[in-house]
Amino acid sequence: MREFMDYIQSAFYAATGWNRDNSYSSLNATSDALLNFPTPRGLRLTLSSLATPQFATSYQLGTVGIVDGSISYLYSTVPLNNAIAQSDKMPLPDLLRSYRPLTELPDRTGEEQEGCLKKDGLGYGRLYLPASMLEALVVRRISPALQLQLSAVSGQALRNGGTILGMAQYDEGRYAVEGLASTDGGLLGVRGLYNFGGDVSHLNAPAPLAAVNGNGGGNGERERIYGRFSTGGELYYGTLNKSGGMSLGVRFATLPTHNGTPLTATMTLNPLMGTISWSYAVMAGNYCSLASRMDFNVYSYESDWAVGMELWRKKGAWSIDRELEEAEPLPSPISATPERSFQAKMEWRLDEPLSTPDTAEILPPPETVVQPKKKERSFQAKMEWRLDDPEVEPKTEPNANQEDDEYSGVLKARLDQHLRVGLLWEGRVKSLLFSLGSSVDLRRPESPFRTLGMEVQFSS
């Protein structure tokens, strides 16, 4: 289940206009969410709160052999008014859905011209007990296209007592570049992502031309497959251990304006290790998502595969049958031929025919149809020799939680080539968010359950 603090961080990026999906590190985010979801271990309880629009807390207590837990604090310089902190009102798709379509790329050139240089920031800290391990994160927005991020982990069990990772992210919409440096092995790296096709051609186009391309010529593309191509790579080198690595990747994903089935296909290549990976994810409907992945190594000819599924349960799916069972039976129709009376049977004759009642006595009086009163034309319309303009009925605003009201839970499952099965059921009961899952090894029938656990979250 998505943690509360990660949900609040996403609200911070949404409030500041930063697109987390426009990064090479998020190239396989959709397939990883469907195939690599974690299963809980033991029992874990989380209590969270957004005390003010800028300050959030979270307390976690778990039992995995020993009693452990954590304390988290988060502060944002920008008010997070767009975040729904109550666990009973949080949209379940935002918390639990694995398939996330790409968002619209921002046009940074207009923001730079308007002088939007508000420097927002975020600070996050988490203390793990009883291990006394500390985790910290600081995010600082320098400009609409530049963001600095510093993360650190401190603990006695870690090498050198901990590590610090610094990252500079530059996102122009069409392309994004990241530079990173870490104290772990003196790691230095750079990665980038370039987008083309789909909505990218409209970023720097003039307003009239963009409107023509988006409304006129774009309908034909949306009827086929309307999506965005992204390609990129990363290169890193360890200055202390004198070793490096690199990878290349390409992704095609449909955009929300696509009328067909949403899908995402990626391919990544590691030339030094000789590994090629393909992944494919599709949102088959509002209640089902599927994913598959195939890995192949050209040096050892080994291959790995995995398949995953996400199946949503519609709210009230069983209530219709229950209502039909509890409904009162309909009265049986009265027979048109009444049974003979006892006196008629003794006299070997039929009953005397009943007098047919007047139809007017049976039928209820007809309802009086009220004709709508014709509205008189206004004085202005009479002076201009015309009719009044037709009244426009007020449009009802769509309910923000209408999509969330359709779901009550989701079942996630995965299977790999080692016959390891992961099962996870997530949903909401009253004001509690729960996650119940298990990891099963089918090759060990004597003890198939490797992990079994349950997580419960409550936030206010």
pLDDT tens figures, 41-84: 889 999 999 999 999 999 999 987 788 899 999 999 999 888 88
Q: Are strands 146-154 and 420-429 parallel, antiparallel or unpaired?
A: unpaired
Supply 157's token pair.
């069990």
Does residue 25 sit within a domain?
yes
pLDDT greater at residue 249 or residue 132: 249
Mean pLDDT of 86-97: 86
Does residue 33 sit within a domain?
yes
Does residue 304 sit within a domain?
yes
Mean pLDDT over the full length of the chain: 80
Q: pTM for this one?
A: 0.75
Residues of the chain above pLDDT 70, percent: 73
Domain span at residue 68? 4-314+406-459
Does residue 331 sit within a domain?
no
pLDDT greater at residue 371 or residue 118: 118
Q: Are 227 and 252 in contact (CB under 8 A)?
A: yes
pLDDT of 1 reads 72
User: Is it the case that residue 281 has pLDDT exceeding 70?
Assistant: yes
- The CATH number covering residue 270 comes to 2.40.160.10
Does residue 368 sit within a domain?
no
pLDDT of 421 reads 94
DSSP character at residue 258? -
Number of domains in the chain: 1
Does residue 355 sit within a domain?
no
Does residue 324 sit within a domain?
no
C-alpha to C-alpha distances, 229 to 22, 171, 226, 264, 267, nearest whole angstrom: 12, 16, 10, 10, 12
The whole-angstrom separation of Cα 31 and Cα 266 is 9
Highest mean pLDDT among 194-198, 280-284, 392-396, 443-447: 280-284
- Beta-carbon contacts of 184 under 8 Å, excluding residues fewer than 6 positions away, are 159, 160, 163, 165
Does residue 192 sit within a domain?
yes
pLDDT of 64 reads 78
